[in-house]
Amino acid sequence: MDKDELINGYFEGSLSESQLEEFNSLLEKDVAFTSEFEFQKELQDSLKKQERQEIKELFSNLKDENGKTETKVIKLRPWLAAASIALLAGLAWWFLFNTGEINTEELYAANFAPYDNVIQPIERGDQLEDLKTKAFTAYENEEYPKALELFKELQGKHNEAYIEFYKAMVLMQLNKQEEAIPLLEGYIEKGGELKDRASWYLALAYLKLNRLEDCKEQLNLRISSGTYKTAAAKKLLSQLE
């Protein structure tokens, strides 16, 4: 079992006793493995937050008998919330892969989530005094137009490589994949610390624009490197074949 599969198995709760021992051993001894696990954990937490928000929005806006929007607060029992998510995911899966056509929009939506802020952690009560904190606070608050302007200003003063990566994240959130692509390509060429992550998002940007061959090329790079999103890249590539 490769390292990426071990991490995925851990989050899925599917590891056997021997695999769990191997996982814990790597976590103690393999610095690269530990780093990858921490990144994946951050992403999992982000996805859970986004999923909770989507479910909340789904059930908060209901129509009354006159067709008017009626906002209600619905408290779901844990098992019912889980069942709702499973049902929605199942319906999306059936629609995507039983129509006989590749729906790039749906595949993109199923795989894209903006990367977590791992550069400038924001704590409650932080004073928004420096430009870097302001930019990442706007990013975390999903104030993407504001974040884009702040990242542009920040780049003019510091020109750190990571700014290109997060500018690309913002542009993808604003459905400006054509503008995000050269930023991601440039970041990868510079060998930025998040270059493996940038490659994954570059594949998704190509997917959004229906540039399937370019998308597949990046996915194959993810698979061959085995450093980030290997399992997800294999799955997406199989769906595009």
The average confidence (pLDDT) of the chain is 78
**Burial (0-12, 13-18, 19+ Cβ within 10 Å), 85:** middle
Tell me whether residue 175 is in a domain. Answer: yes
Contact indicator for 10, 233 with CB cutoff of 8 Å: no
Number of domains in the chain: 1
146 three-state secondary structure? helix
pLDDT in tens, 154-168: 988 887 889 999 999
Q: Find where tokens 């056509």 sit.
A: 101
Is 28 within a domain?
Answer: no
| Per-residue pLDDT at 43 | 72
pLDDT at 13: 72
Say how far apart CA 199 and CA 190 lie, in whole Å: 12
Is pTM beyond 0.75? Reply is no
- Residue 11 resides in a domain: no
- For residues 36 and 101, the model is more confident at 36
Q: In which domain, by residue range, is 185 found?
A: 102-241
What pLDDT was estimated at residue 29? 84
The tens digit of pLDDT for each residue in 15-53 reads 788 888 888 888 888 877 887 787 777 776 666 555 555
Domain assignment present for residue 223? The answer is: yes
| 213 inside domain | yes
pLDDT of 129-178, one tens digit each?
Answer: 688 889 999 999 999 999 999 999 998 888 788 999 999 999 999 999 99
Are the C-beta atoms of 155 and 174 separated by less than 8 Å? no
- Please give the pLDDT value at position 76: 39
CA distances to 134, 152, 163, 167 from 120, rounded to whole Å, are 10, 16, 11, 14
Within a domain: 169: yes
How long is the chain?
241
- Is the pLDDT at 104 greater than 80? The verdict is yes
pLDDT at 173: 95
Q: What is the CATH number of the domain that holds 167?
A: 1.25.40.10
pLDDT greater at residue 43 or residue 203: 203
Residue 39 lies in a domain: no
Cα(113)–Cα(207) distance, integer angstroms = 14
Residue 209 binned pLDDT confidence (cut-offs 50, 70, 90) = very high
Within a domain: residue 155?
yes
